[in-house]
Amino acid sequence: MEETAPRNPAELHTSVMLERCVELLTPGAERDGAFVVDATLGMGGHTEALLERFPNLTVIGLDRDTEALELAGARLARFGGRFVPVHAVYDEIDRALEEAGAPSIDGALFDLGVSSLQLDDADRGFAYAQDAPLDMRMDQTRGRTAAEILAEEPEGRLRELFERYGEEPLAGRYARAIVAARKVAPLERSGQLVDVLQEATPAAVLGKRHPAKRVFQALRVEVNGELATLERAIPAAIDRLNLGGRLVVMSYQSLEDRIVKRAIQARSRSTAPQGLPVELPEHKPQLRILTKGAEQATDAEKAVNPRAIPARLRAAERVREVA
């Protein structure tokens, strides 16, 4: 049997807004003995760029996907101990830093959403354009699959998921259709689910958008607990930043971006009580926002890398230590 050639991570994924991310992380990354956390390692493109440019930097790379860790590990092996891989979800930063022997960090990078590895692997069930088992777990060693959620959750809960995580206006109609369909046969493949959604979609809507897009997004978010994890992860990363350290986050959907925006803004405002004549040091903002709103990729990058089109980047710098 002919052996399959090992996959090249650099060919599987083009890192989004790479130069801008490196630029924003530079003040912390160029310090002697600096530590940066790549909280969503993926194919390792951002980490590779950081390690190449800053010879005194160590990057701690987190990913819940064991296949991504393996591929990125091979790509980054030439950096030796300057790259520390950790199998973890990005709200487990404290554990990851403890394993790496880093009490604090000089930068943190989050590149949220589903990776190219997961989207392009039909067997993972993330893409509604490819028929595959309805899995959608980023970490295939634990958790419920999308098929199990569709089989087990009542209609009301499915409607809630599609409304909250997919912002789907036809959530109720789709939830009813799924419950009716599963009484006939289990929904175990993406093609089956797409068929159910198409049949339940009014003709006027079918011509405007794919009916599965928002439902698949909602299922992926629920399977992986993405939003709850993010709500814990951003504050955890901020708490570990050294003075002058920077947080850089790229989001690909409005739900994620709102969480990131709120977390950064909460730490960039004074906490002094209204009417206090003098702002005490402990009331001063912890962060300084570095981006004007959410930055987008350049038109040139969007033209060559379509996955950069929905990206929204926010960044902030630690300006006050907290006892």
Is 63 assigned to a binding site? yes
Q: Helices 226-240 and 254-267, interaxial angle, to 10°?
A: 30
pLDDT at 323: 62
Q: Which of 68-72, 141-145, 189-193, 248-252 has the lowest mean pLDDT?
A: 141-145
Task: For residue 113, say whether it is annotated as part of any ligand binding site.
Answer: no
User: Is residue 46 part of an annotated ligand binding site?
Assistant: yes
What fold characterizes domain 9-111+226-318?
Rossmann fold (3.40.50)
Per the annotation, does 65 bind a ligand?
no
CATH class of segment(s) 124-224: mainly alpha
Q: Is 118 annotated as a binding residue?
A: yes
Q: Indicate the average pLDDT of the chain.
A: 89
The pTM is what? Answer: 0.84
Comparing 37-46, 58-67, 266-275, 282-291, the range with the smallest average pLDDT is 266-275
pLDDT of residue 233: 96
The residue that leads in pLDDT, 7 or 172, is: 172
**Residue with more model confidence, 55 or 137:** 55
Task: Tell me whether residue 283 is annotated as binding.
Answer: no
Please list the residue range(s) of the chain that carry CATH number 3.40.50.150: 9-111+226-318
Q: What is the pLDDT of residue 209?
A: 82
Does pLDDT of 141 surpass 60?
A: yes
- Percent of the chain at pLDDT exceeding 90: 72
Tokens of 78: 């030439």
Q: Where in the chain is the domain with CATH 1.10.150.170?
A: 124-224
Which of 27-31, 210-214, 315-319 comes out lowest in average pLDDT? 210-214
pLDDT at 123 over 70: no
Query: What pLDDT is recorded for position 284?
Result: 87
Is 131 labelled as part of a ligand binding site? no
